């Protein structure tokens, strides 16, 4: 399965614009790659408008109360054996900061 978004965000890495996360059948991250400016529909790929976060993040309920928080401060220092994957909407895609409408949903 593949997940695509306007941005793929990971701790201590540059954001990947129009990125694609490829998952195994066990929902483990196989690869994270750059996509094209206009991601083409592919079999077993789902596009999420906004950002996909790969890693351990600060509590979503805490994050939803923050505004103008840079996305590099979304992640905790904890390293999980299997990273979580979150979908974030309401992020300012020009500045990559949280807004008052930011919401988070865990996908994996």
pLDDT, tens only, 37-62:
666 667 788 999 999 999 888 776 66
Q: What is the pLDDT of residue 66?
A: 64
When the candidates are 2.60.40, 2.30.40, 1.10.3470, 2.40.50, the CATH number that belongs to 2-106 is: 2.30.40
Could you tell me which of 70, 58, 62, 63 has the C-alpha nearest to residue 94? 70
Q: What is the pLDDT of residue 40?
A: 66
Q: What is the pTM of this model?
A: 0.82
Give the whole-angstrom CA distance, residue 103 versus residue 90: 6
Q: What is the pLDDT of residue 55?
A: 85
**Domain boundaries along the sequence of the chain:** 2-106
Give the whole-angstrom CA distance, residue 15 versus residue 54: 11
Kindly give the parts of the chain with pLDDT less than 70.
Answer: 36-41, 60-67, 79-81
């Amino acid at each position: 399965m593949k997940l695509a978004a306007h941005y793929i965000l990971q701790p201590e890495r540059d954001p990947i614009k129009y990125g694609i996360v490829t998952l195994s059948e066990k929902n483990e991250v196989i690869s994270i790659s750059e996509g094209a400016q206009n991601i083409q529909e592919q079999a077993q790929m789902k596009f999420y408008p906004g950002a996909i976060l790969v890693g351990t993040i600060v509590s979503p309920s805490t994050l939803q109360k923050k505004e103008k928080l840079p996305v590099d401060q979304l992640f905790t220092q904890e390293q999980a054996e299997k990273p979580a994957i979150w979908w974030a909407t309401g992020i300012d895609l020009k500045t990559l900061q949280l807004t008052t409408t930011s919401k988070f949903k865990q996908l994996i």
